[in-house]
Amino acid sequence: MRITLGAPRFRLTYQLRHVVRELAPRREYFSKPLPEFTSAYRADLDRLGATWLAARLQEIAEAEMEHRLVLLCFEDLMDPAQWCHRRIFAKWWKDVTGDEVRELGPLADRYEQGTLM
């Protein structure tokens, strides 16, 4: 599921079935430096709350009859100069719930599919 303000600027080899706009950063702070961005984004997540977000994601999981959800943004994290809000969300989720959001792809120690809830 896409958690970005807009769609990717490149063609995907898979279908994005859901958009969770609530997890997208707001335009007001989108281009701010990382510390300001992180603070504003985490404040947005705090306002939504883990309980509400868990229910929203559970709703999608049930609609898809699939317990494995993948949160997508489209930065190339192989480039050390780039960062993404998905990783900020993962840190916030762990801080608030104690549950880890696993990273899939080349940055993970190993490819592993888990569940968010």
Report field, pTM of the whole predicted structure over 0.85:
no
**Rounded distance between C-alpha atoms, residue 59 and residue 107, angstroms:** 28
Whole-number pLDDT of residue 68? 72
pLDDT value of residue 113: 43
Question: Phi first, then psi: what are they for 19, rounded to 5°?
Answer: -125, 130
For the chain of 117 residues, list the mean pLDDT of each consecutive stretch of 10.
Answer: 66 67 86 93 96 90 76 62 77 93 62 45
The pLDDT value given to residue 43: 97
Q: Looking at residue 27, what is its pLDDT?
A: 86
- pLDDT the model gives residue 14: 55
